């Protein structure tokens, strides 16, 4: 007898989505899909616009990681101009990128995932949120909020405002920064490092109690993709692409991000507006790979900063070869935040940062430009073709979250098979399916350009595709 | 050709002002029958359009607005952009997609165009709207509230039906 | 030179005979809104934003084109005028694609600042979303019809100051478009001297320096005053 339950909407993810869980006649889960149901279409609406506008226009895709879009877009613009940007501009871009990774990861960890981690997956939903956290340990939550504030403040000090700053441009950035700004950034670093040490300690202490989740929320072998520096260290702004496998081997190295289309394919399915990128040599869907904090830590040999290095060495011991448990995205995120704060400190001490010359001037010299950088959620590519007069003829965006699409689908399926039984649906079971998605910190508005009504729906279907239960919240 | 005397048609004017309808004796001099300014009209190029109850007054207003929109030179903003918006509202009334706010905006825009347009085209563009609103308000209300065209002229679209429900 | 005394917004002011109400008001710190007027160019009275009420006259008058008269009583900021101005700016915002957040002139746009000053926080009209081209064929400048309000400042400055008359308006009504020469791409215009005066007088982001990104476009209009003054005073002769 078909029955229907609704959970609507899902909490603590950025954007809107739906999950379908297929159930056989015996009530066992056979498969699951993660649908992104809406569409925004930035690739289309920028056609006919001058490429100089792209950093500002593309940053409007997202209010959480506008900096990533500004950077990838500006870098594509640099390529269209055919210039090397001034050192100060490159340093500013690096600084602000680290600041954004810090604030975005802080949001994901403290605001969105900490309630699951520190209050428990089965805590009552009314308490399982940042306000419930505040009741328990206000100081810890405040530290998280201040970490995010620190990242946002750097963006504001350098770019002029926290969200969507008019700052990046093809050829560099719009303004130089002064000593007062730099000193303010420096002054907040000790507190940030202290907060991160505390968060890392706390997370590591509770990890043992999540053994089942670590085992069954997105734990499977995949490839990992990210940017590394020439030395093979963590790199977020400008480097070459490395692809590693689950055993920790390097599958491909030194790939030019500009030629991403030669090794990354983009499939699409009618059940989702989110593209399904895959590693071309292994085809679709076999070329499944993960990006973001977990992937970056897996492929880089070291962090390149002392404190993060120590944590990273310890982290790598959690896997045989690569760390394949998606649950460890949380830990990876904290380590990346530590690395970001250390990098911010290094950049603040760099005399190049404050040079006055921040923009290279040139006319258009190319018709095709690609820009890439590491966004908080993974590798981001912006690819523009322009006409003789610099108007966008075609744009293609390859967004971090969409590169995790195949892995998120597999995570949902794995979590549903283990935790969900169609006979007795409990809230905590479904929260674990959601938590599987939360590991990836997906930013759905970025990846699909979706708009419209917020909804998160879990559907349970039988073999014939009939809806048994629908859970909306 | 002998025109009837002015005196003969005074009664007709009264009749018109009372009932908005007039039965014209043959060969009546028009200016004798209709004191145009008095009833809010102008002679223009000398044309006269005769309509009966099968003409939808909203659609008539829309038709004249379309004419003004097409003829606007585009120099001043109230006429260039205002006629476009007024035409859009009138069109939506005839398809059943308009609401009470649109009717208010139609009146507001009429004032704007009359008072601020640069030349006579824009200043008089709202006249058909103002006149039909004055003499046939029930036709506007039927379109907006009942999604119905009393003259049986307008086709209400699916979008219009949605507004109604 | 005859001087007239009149009242503007309950303030007694004086101006030279023949001067426009608009100019006299601004000289006395009464800033009547405008988009088509710019000091140094002829007035066309197209935007209708500077309309004022004159005591004893039923009709509103465009203050940029109405000369002062002795004893005149003018009001520049009544509820009726404010309502009209708000509507006019809303009509402009709905007419083309004025998207401030991704516009080169964001933060230095007369349409944007006027909308803010009039308290426009939403537009009551349906946006028209026309499909309009961007002309970036010129080596140094660009023209984005999406941001154009057809004020014709570019047309006038090119004709009256530069003397090239590259710009003009084609089409009519809502289909009006600024064109260079007979509709050639700007980069192919034979009359354009690439002086850039049109770019400096544009009130919105319609004309811009090529290569400028969002919110980067800033304008310098100082040239208008010294060219116009030098011509009037014949400062270059002798």
Q: Burial letters for A428-467: b for 16+ Cβ neighbours within 10 Å, e otherwise?
A: bbbbbbbbbbbbbbbbbbbbbbbeeeeebbbbbbbeeeee
**Nearest to residue B126, comparing CAs of B81, B61, B75, B70?**
B61
What are the C-alpha distances in Å from A260 to residues A256, A281, A376, C208? 7, 13, 19, 34
When the pLDDT of each residue in chain A is averaged and rounded to a whole number, the result is 90
Mutate to test the interface with C, among A44, A46, A50 (most CBs of C within 10 A): A50
Q: What is the CATH number of the domain that holds C186?
A: 3.30.70.20
Same domain, C89 and C122: yes
Note whether C216 contacts A49, CB cutoff 8 Å: no
Spatial contact of A227 and A295, defined as CB atoms under 8 Å apart: no
Beta-bridge mates of residue C75:
C53
For residue C226, being part of any structural domain is answered with no
State the pLDDT at residue A461. Answer: 74
Considering CB atoms only, which of C101, C107, C142 is closest to A50? C142
CB contact under 8 A, A166 and C137: no
Please say whether the beta carbons of C203 and C151 come within 8 A: yes
Q: Which domain holds residue B118?
A: 57-164
Nearest-5° angle of CA A190, CA A195, CA A197? 95
Whether A and B touch, i.e. at least 3 CB pairs below 8 A, reads as no
Residue A439: the pLDDT is 94
Q: Report yes or no on C14 lying in a domain.
A: yes
Q: In whole angstroms, how far apart are CA C62 and each of A193, B122, C21, C87, C124?
A: 64, 15, 9, 16, 25
pLDDT tens readout for residues B10-54: 555 555 555 555 555 666 666 655 667 776 677 777 777 888 889
Residue of C nearest to B85 (CA): C125
Residue C231 lies in a domain: no
Token pair of C76, please? 């520049």
- Look at A242-251, A458-467, C75-84, C130-139 and tell me which has the smallest mean pLDDT: A458-467
Asked if C51's CB is within 8 angstroms of B80's CB, the reply is: no
Q: Give Cβ neighbours of residue A416 (< 8 Å, ≥ 6 apart).
A: A19, A21, A29, A32, A433
User: What's the number of domains chain C is made of?
Assistant: 2
Sign of the C-alpha dihedral computed for residues A408, A413, A418 and A420 taken in this order: positive
Q: Is the domain of C167 the same as that of C134?
A: yes
Chain A residues whose CB is inside 8 A of the C137 CB are: 389
CA distance A7 to A456: 7
Closest CA to A289 of A258, A263, A328, A314: A263
Q: What is the mean pLDDT of residues A281-306?
A: 95
Span C147-165, average pLDDT: 98
Q: How far apart are CA B116 and CA B122, in angstroms?
A: 8
Residues A184-226: tens digit of each pLDDT: 999 999 999 999 999 999 999 999 999 999 999 999 999 999 9
Residues A302-316 have a mean pLDDT of 97
C117 touches chain B (CB under 8 A): no
Residue B73, both tokens? 């030179």
The bridge status of strand C51-54 relative to strand A456-461 is: unpaired
Q: Is B122 near chain C, with CB under 8 Å?
A: no
Tell me the shortest Cα–Cα distance from C199 to chain B, in angstroms: 20
Same domain assignment for residues C68 and C10: yes
The CATH number covering residue B113 comes to: 1.20.1440.230
State whether B82 and B128 are in the same domain. Answer: yes
Shared domain for B69 and B150, answered yes or no, is yes
CB-closest option in C137, C187, C214 to A56: C214
Per DSSP, the three-state class of C92 is helix
Q: What is the CATH number of the domain that holds C53?
A: 3.10.20.740
Give the Cα separation of C95 and B17 in Å (integer). Answer: 40
Distance between CA atoms of residues A102 and A114, nearest Å: 16
> b or e along B45-76 (b: 16 or more beta carbons within 10 Å of the residue's beta carbon)?
eeeeeeeeeeebbbbbbbbbbeebbeebbbbb
The 8-class DSSP code of residue C186 comes to G
Arithmetic mean of pLDDT, B119-139: 95
A421 pLDDT tier (thresholds 50, 70, 90): confident
Task: Provide the β-strand partners of residue A35.
Answer: A18
Chain C contact present for A350, CB below 8 A: no
- Domain A51-212+347-364: which topology? Cytochrome-c3 Hydrogenase; chain B (1.10.645)
DSSP secondary structure code for residue A209 in this structure: G
Please indicate whether residue A142 or residue A6 has the higher confidence score (pLDDT): A142
* pLDDT recorded at residue B49: 84
The domain boundary residue, chosen from C77, C104, C120: C77
Domain that holds residue C211: 83-215
Structurally, chain B folds into a number of domains equal to: 2
**Preferred mutation among C48, C114, C179 to probe B, highest tally of B CBs within 10 A:** C48
Interface ipTM: 0.95
E strand or H helix at A304, and its extent? Answer: none
CA distance B125 to B82: 10
- Give yes or no for a contact between A344 and A209, defined as CB atoms under 8 angstroms apart: no
Say whether both C70 and C111 belong to one domain: no
Nearest to B105 among C45, C51, C124 (CB): C124
- For CA atoms A406, A410, A413, A419, the dihedral sign is negative
Same-domain check for residues C94 and C204: yes
């Amino acid at each position: 007898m078909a029955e229907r339950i609704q959970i609507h909407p899902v909490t603590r993810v950025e954007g809107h989505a739906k999950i379908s869980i297929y159930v056989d006649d015996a009530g066992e889960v056979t498969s699951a899909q993660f649908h992104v149901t809406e569409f925004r279409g930035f690739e289309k609406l920028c056609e006919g616009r001058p490429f100089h506008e792209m950093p500002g226009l593309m940053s409007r895709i997202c209010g959480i990681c506008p900096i990533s879009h500004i950077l990838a877009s500006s870098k594509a613009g640099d390529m269209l101009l055919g210039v090397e940007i001034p050192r100060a501009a490159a340093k500013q871009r690096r600084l602000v990128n680290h600041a954004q990774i810090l604030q975005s990861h802080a949001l994901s960890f403290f605001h969105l995932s900490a309630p699951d981690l520190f209050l428990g997956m089965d805590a009552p939903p009314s308490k399982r949120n940042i306000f419930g956290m505040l009741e328990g340990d206000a100081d810890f939550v405040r530290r998280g909020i201040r970490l995010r504030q620190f990242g946002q403040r750097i963006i504001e000090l350098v770019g002029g405002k926290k969200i969507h700053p008019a700052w990046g441009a093809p050829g560099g950035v719009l303004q130089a920064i002064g000593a007062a700004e730099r000193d303010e950034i420096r002054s907040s670093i000790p507190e940030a490092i202290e907060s991160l040490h505390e968060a890392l300690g706390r997370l590591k202490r509770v990890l043992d109690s999540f053994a089942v989740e670590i085992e069954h929320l997105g734990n499977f072998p995949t490839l990992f993709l990210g940017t590394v520096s020439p030395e093979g260290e963590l790199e977020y702004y400008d480097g070459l692409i490395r692809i590693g496998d689950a055993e920790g081997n390097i599958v491909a190295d030194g790939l030019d991000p500009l030629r991403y289309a030669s090794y990354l394919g983009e499939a699409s399915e009618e059940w989702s507006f989110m593209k399904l990128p895959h590693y071309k040599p292994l085809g679709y869907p076999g070329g499944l790979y993960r990006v973001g904090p977990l992937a970056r830590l897996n492929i880089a040999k070291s962090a390149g900063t002392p404190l993060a290095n120590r944590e990273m060495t310890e982290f790598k011991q959690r896997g045989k070869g690569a760390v394949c448990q998606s649950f460890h995205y949380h830990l990876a995120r904290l380590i990346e935040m530590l690395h970001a704060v250390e990098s911010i400190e290094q950049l603040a001490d760099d005399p190049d940062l404050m040079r006055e010359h921040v923009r290279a001037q040139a006319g258009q010299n190319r018709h095709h430009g690609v820009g890439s950088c590491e966004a908080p959620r993974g590798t981001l590519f912006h690819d523009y073709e322009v006409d003789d007069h610099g108007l966008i003829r075609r744009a293609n965006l390859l967004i971090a979250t969409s590169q995790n699409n195949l892995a998120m689908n597999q995570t949902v399926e794995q979590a549903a098979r283990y935790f969900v039984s169609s006979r007795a649906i409990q809230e905590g079971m479904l929260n674990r399916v959601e938590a599987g998605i939360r590991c990836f910190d997906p930013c759905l508005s970025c990846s699909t350009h979706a708009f419209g009504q917020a909804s998160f729906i879990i559907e349970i279907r039988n073999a014939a595709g009939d809806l048994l239960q629908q859970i909306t919240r | 050709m002998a025109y009837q005397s002015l005196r003969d048609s005074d009664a007709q004017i009264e009749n018109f002002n009372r009932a908005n309808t007039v039965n014209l004796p043959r060969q009546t001099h028009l200016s004798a029958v209709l004191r145009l300014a008095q009833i809010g009209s102008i002679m223009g190029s000398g044309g006269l359009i005769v309509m009966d109850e099968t003409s939808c007054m909203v659609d008539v207003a829309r038709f004249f607005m379309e004419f003004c929109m097409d003829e606007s030179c585009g120099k001043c903003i109230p006429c260039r952009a205002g006629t476009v918006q007024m035409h859009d509202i009138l069109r939506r009334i005839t398809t059943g997609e308009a609401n009470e706010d649109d009717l208010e905006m139609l009146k507001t825009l009429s004032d704007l165009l009359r008072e601020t347009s640069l030349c006579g085209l824009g200043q008089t563009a709202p006249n058909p709207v103002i006149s039909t609103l004055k003499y046939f308000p029930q036709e506007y209300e039927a379109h907006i509230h009942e999604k119905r065209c009393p003259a049986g002229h307008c086709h209400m679209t699916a979008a219009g039906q949605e507004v109604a429900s | 030179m005859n001087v007239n005394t009149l009242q503007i917004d309950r303030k007694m002011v004086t101006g030279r005979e023949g001067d426009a109400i608009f100019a006299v008001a601004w000289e006395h710190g009464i800033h009547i809104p405008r988009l088509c007027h710019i000091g140094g160019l002829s007035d066309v009275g197209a935007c209708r934003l500077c309309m004022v009420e004159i005591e004893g006259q039923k009709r509103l008058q465009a203050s940029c084109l109405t000369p002062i008269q002795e004893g005149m009583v003018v009001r520049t900021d009544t509820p009726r005028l404010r309502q009209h101005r708000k509507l006019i700016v809303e009509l402009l915002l709905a007419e083309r694609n004025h998207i401030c957040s991704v516009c080169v002139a964001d933060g230095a746009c007369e349409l944007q600042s006027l909308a803010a000053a009039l308290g426009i926080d939403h537009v009551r009209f349906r946006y028209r979303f026309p499909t309009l081209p961007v002309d970036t064929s010129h080596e140094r400048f660009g023209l984005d019809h999406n941001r154009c309000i057809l004020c014709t400042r570019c047309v006038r400055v090119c004709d009256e100051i530069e003397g090239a008359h590259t710009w003009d308006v084609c089409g009519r009504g809502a289909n009006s478009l600024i064109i260079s020469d007979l509709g050639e791409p700007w980069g192919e215009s034979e009359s354009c001297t690439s002086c850039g005066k049109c770019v400096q007088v544009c009130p919105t982001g319609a004309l811009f320096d090529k290569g400028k990104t969002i919110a980067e476009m800033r304008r310098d209009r100082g040239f208008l005053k010294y060219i116009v003054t030098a011509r009037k005073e014949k400062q270059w002769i002798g």
